Structure 1
Amino acid sequence: MTPADLADVIVSVVREAVADGVIDVTVPATVPVERPKNPEHGDYATPAALQLAKAARRPPREIAELLAERLRKDPGVASVDVAGPGFLNFRLASEALGELARAVVRAGDAYGRAARRKDRRVNVEFVSANPTGPVTLASTRWAAVGDALARVFDAAGYDVGTEYYVNDAGVQVQRFGASVLAAAKGEPTPDDGYHGAYVAEIAAKVLADNPGLLEGDEAAALAVATRDGLAQMLAEITSTLAGFGVHYDVWKSERSLHDAGDLTAAVADLRAHGHVYDAEGAVFLRTTDFGDDKDRALVKSDGQPTYFCGDAAYYRDKRRRGFDKVVMLLGADHHGYIGRLRALAACYGDDPAETLDVIIGQLVTLSRGGEPVKMSKRAGNFLTLADLVDVVGVDAARYSLVRSSLDSSLDLDLDLIARQAPENPVFYVQYAHTRVCGVLRNAAQLGIATGDGASAPDGVDVSLLSHPREVDLLRALGELPTVVAAAASLRAPHRVARYLEELAGTYHRFYDACRVLPQGDEEPTPLTGARLLLVEATKVVLANGLRMLGVSAPERM
């Protein structure tokens, strides 16, 4: 019995109690079922009675007692105790708990994934760095976390669209084009331009593709250097992110919004909602009506749209494409954007609490031997995604960047995350998966069925899985769906990583305490088959969890 199965049983009992007139409440669609922090309290617990008590106008413990009386009749439940103000603590019958291993193996890749809901369309925009240089180390964190968050949303049943906003309009693009043209001419980089060997590389390619570039009109040369330089840089960004396992559904051009008249349409739309006013020749959005610290200009007095006007058009574009929720991952220097973006959503008539999430991440630094790692030779004044991957590889980089909350700054010790040792979290989890695969390979060599396949687990006696370490592992395996739901709800994919680390430790303790395969001339027993099914289930959960983080699950290391 999985936690979801137990939740269904509890809901069914509530429904029966309502039908019998014992309590008068609205039957919930589901109830929370969690693993107690203290194993002595049972296999699972629920606060369902506390949540129903207010509507029932009765004490929580009284509701808990009447539910417990009915739940004790379920054959999968060994005992139900009422604890504290009204918590229900469950111990499952050994066979019911063991059935979880069978359920996991049968579900395979689908285990931990919720049914798709069409009313939960979410757009996740992340990285979206200016296409004027390589992907920086800071953006690498957003790449790892943003992609993992999108994967977690997908596993939690959301209809997900991933997006990169290409800032190919504005002052930074002009400065980049001027820097490329200066490099092509062999002139010094403009004071406000872009430095680094990569600019010279781009300039050389632009010249090779346009032999007569420097012989014509200066303005025309600048336009070509800007256009071709951006194309090269965007191609490199795309390739770099793809090599990091990050693929976007949409690469949205800021310039395309300008060309399509979306900025003008956004201003008109906001004006129709009554939040736009004109002052001193400029156009403003009255964002202070919704908590912003000042009103924001949409159009400057010279008639040019502001960057915020582009934000307004882009938010409108996402909502018009049918996304119920817009999620944006931004860097630490964008903290001031939260208020203005929430106010913008409200100006469109949306409830920002329902339609917009702005997630701010903290900075990441690299160290080695306690000393900070110096800047990239190619980029000039910053470290890049490629620099990190070259040293530690994709898996170690992604896992290390995802496993900590975005709320905290992160210092990655390159020596640690490249080391194949238990103190390295990614190695610890991946090693658990390889250890599981090794056991299953050895079983296959001995001709022992491993439970691999939809029908193979049927003959296994799962009631034999009663050793404390087996029970611990079963409980841990049952947590994946709950962890995924919480990670999606809290926008916290690091919860999946921390869960996998706990699961790996639980498996290692099980393996050390419970001999799985027969030794010498021993014959396999029913317990052998049950434990192999448990090992197979562990393989499924480790692989599924790592996949949600965009990290591989190797079978050998």
Structure 2
Amino acid sequence: MTPVDLSTTVLHAVRRAVREDALRAPVPARVRVERTRPGGRGDYASAVALQLAGPAGLAAREVAEILRDRLAGAPGVAGVEITGPGFLNFTLDAATGAAAHRALVHRVREQGERYGYGDALAGQRLLLVHAREVRAAVTADAVRRLLAAQGADVCVGCDGEPDPDWARLGVRTEASDDQAENPIRPVPAGDTAAGLLTRLGPDAARWGLLRAAGHDRAPLGNELIAQTEANALFRVRYAHARARAVVREAARLGVAVAASGEDIDATGAAGLLALLDAHPAVLAGAARHRAPDRLARHLDAVAAAFFDFHDAAPPLPVGDEKPSAAHRSRTALAEAAGTVLAGGLSLLGVSAPEHL
């Protein structure tokens, strides 16, 4: 069971409790589950009972007990314990978790860089209209890509004459009169496309324009081209390049990537697996809220989790170590991480080099 699966399972329990009139509270849009902190109980925890206690007019522990009763025997959940004021703590079934990890990695490898694409917006025809300003133009272009990845038919229009230099940033304008109009109005960049291209180049300029939320000013200093760990763009692209290098080196050493039926060694990989599993929801949310910054932050988190996994469980044999099933599965996970990073960068209009 993945974190998204668990969140859905708990949400179903909330709906059931409301339907049965055991709980009188509005059903939340989603339930947040998190890895249990060191010293905690079980594999995951949720504060949903504390969230519902006020509206339900009940103590949080009483709400937690109502939900625990409806989670008993849920597929993939080995046990549910209540701790503190009303936290739900979940212990997952190991066999179910292993199957979910296998399915997740296989799904990413099978779908490639289109992993996370969907048809939730199929049939919608949208026109994104932005000001004659470089950040608005790049943001509208990224939102167009995100919406199209969810099945929408999208065009982009400008309030004035498009700047010819926008094309060098990957922006295209193709207005249509028969589509619902959606304004894109981020805080202006305070610079021109020509100026940003001269200082930063297209990739760093796009990342800098998109990484901050639209209501915040976008930092566009030379730190965006620094080859250092402090630069989020460098971290993401370096993680992608490193993941690709793992796959290349594995092939050279004769380490085959794990087949779809093989277990995935989750040593040091819980955070990475959770983020890969959440990727489709992140893409859908970024499209729905017209917020490419959500995807940029998600990619940064995937990169950090990849390095944590890489350090905790090296994917390749070290020294005289013989290749094993664990190495095959870790190589498959590295490949999946690289695929998600490449696909996400592509949706932001940023290149993903194989070498850095």
Report the TM-score, using the length of structure 1 for normalisation: 0.55
CA RMSD of aligned residues (A): 3.5
Q: Are residues 1:478 and 2:277 paired?
A: yes
Q: Are residues 1:522 and 2:347 paired?
A: no
Preserved contact between residue 101 and residue 474 of structure 1 (Cα < 8 Å): no
Q: Are residues 1:147 and 2:141 paired?
A: yes
1:307 corresponding residue in structure 2: none
Secondary structure of 1:81's match? Answer: strand
Report the TM-score, using the length of structure 2 for normalisation: 0.81
1:554 corresponding residue in structure 2: 353
Q: Are residues 1:159 and 2:152 paired?
A: yes
Cα gap change, 1:67 to 1:505, in 2 (>3 Å): same
Q: Are residues 1:395 and 2:203 paired?
A: yes
Secondary structure of 1:507's match? Answer: helix
Partner amino acid, structure 2, of 1:474: L
Q: Are residues 1:126 and 2:120 paired?
A: no
Deviations 1:214-234 (A, max 9, x none): xxxxxxxxxxxxxxxxxxxx5
1:209 corresponding residue in structure 2: none
167, 176, 185: which is aligned to 1:242?
167
1:457 corresponding residue in structure 2: 260
Residue 8 of structure 1: how far off its partner (Å)? 3.6
Residue 524 of structure 1: how far off its partner (Å)? 1.9
Secondary structure of 1:389's match? Answer: helix
Residue 162 of structure 1: how far off its partner (Å)? 2.9
Distance 1:322 1:147 in 2: 16
Deviations 1:109-149 (A, max 9, x none): 3433344234765432224x2xxxxxxxxx22222222223
Residue 92 of structure 1: how far off its partner (Å)? 3.1
Distance 1:513 1:473 in 2: 12
Preserved contact between residue 97 and residue 474 of structure 1 (Cα < 8 Å): no
Residue 439 of structure 1: how far off its partner (Å)? 0.4
Secondary structure of 2:315's match? Answer: coil
Q: How does 1:43-442 map to 2 (within 5 A)?
A: 44-46=44-46, 48-49=48-49, 59-82=59-82, 86-98=86-98, 99-100=100-101, 102-107=103-108, 108=111, 109-118=113-122, 121-127=125-131, 129=132, 139-155=133-149, 157=150, 159-165=152-158, 167=160, 237=163, 240-248=165-173, 250-251=174-175, 321=178, 323=180, 326-330=181-185, 361-365=186-190, 384-414=192-222, 416-442=223-249
Secondary structure of 2:66's match? Answer: helix
Deviations 1:314-346 (A, max 9, x none): xxx6xxx353xx43123xxxxxxxxxxxxxxxx
Residue 481 of structure 1: how far off its partner (Å)? 3.4
Residue 405 of structure 1: how far off its partner (Å)? 2.1
Partner amino acid, structure 1, of 2:175: W
Deviations 1:60-91 (A, max 9, x none): 53332232244242352244333566453434
Structure (1 or 2) with the larger CA radius of gyration: 1
Partner amino acid, structure 2, of 1:393: G
Preserved contact between residue 210 and residue 293 of structure 2 (Cα < 8 Å): yes
In structure 2, list runs of 5 or more residues that go unmatched: none
Secondary structure of 1:410's match? Answer: coil
Distance 2:87 2:153 in 1: 35
Residue 429 of structure 1: how far off its partner (Å)? 0.6
2:30 corresponding residue in structure 1: 31
Deviations 1:160-183 (A, max 9, x none): 523213537xxxxxxxxxxxxxxx
Preserved contact between residue 8 and residue 30 of structure 1 (Cα < 8 Å): no
Q: Are residues 1:446 and 2:250 paired?
A: no
2:344 corresponding residue in structure 1: 545
Cα gap change, 1:120 to 1:6, in 2 (>3 Å): farther
Residue 15 of structure 1: how far off its partner (Å)? 6.2
Preserved contact between residue 197 and residue 205 of structure 2 (Cα < 8 Å): yes
Preserved contact between residue 124 and residue 160 of structure 1 (Cα < 8 Å): no
Deviations 1:331-374 (A, max 9, x none): xxxxxxxxxxxxxxxxxxxxxxxxxxxxxx33435xxxxxxxxx
Partner amino acid, structure 2, of 1:492: A
Distance 1:512 1:555 in 2: 20
Partner amino acid, structure 2, of 1:405: A
The alignment of Structure 1 onto Structure 2 pairs a total of residues equal to 351
Secondary structure of 2:156's match? Answer: strand
Partner amino acid, structure 1, of 2:128: V
Deviations 1:290-311 (A, max 9, x none): xxxxxxxxxxxxxxxxxxxxxx
1:338 corresponding residue in structure 2: none
Preserved contact between residue 44 and residue 89 of structure 2 (Cα < 8 Å): yes
Cα gap change, 1:167 to 1:417, in 2 (>3 Å): closer
Residue 438 of structure 1: how far off its partner (Å)? 0.3
Distance 1:408 1:14 in 2: 36
Cα gap change, 1:30 to 1:158, in 2 (>3 Å): farther
Deviations 1:489-524 (A, max 9, x none): 544322221222222122112212212112345332
Cα gap change, 1:392 to 1:6, in 2 (>3 Å): same
Cα gap change, 1:480 to 1:146, in 2 (>3 Å): same
Partner amino acid, structure 2, of 1:529: R
Residue 52 of structure 1: how far off its partner (Å)? 6.3
Secondary structure of 2:220's match? Answer: strand
Distance 1:491 1:164 in 2: 15
Cα gap change, 1:165 to 1:112, in 2 (>3 Å): same
Distance 2:318 2:334 in 1: 17
Residue 443 of structure 1: how far off its partner (Å)? 1.0
Q: Are residues 1:505 and 2:307 paired?
A: no
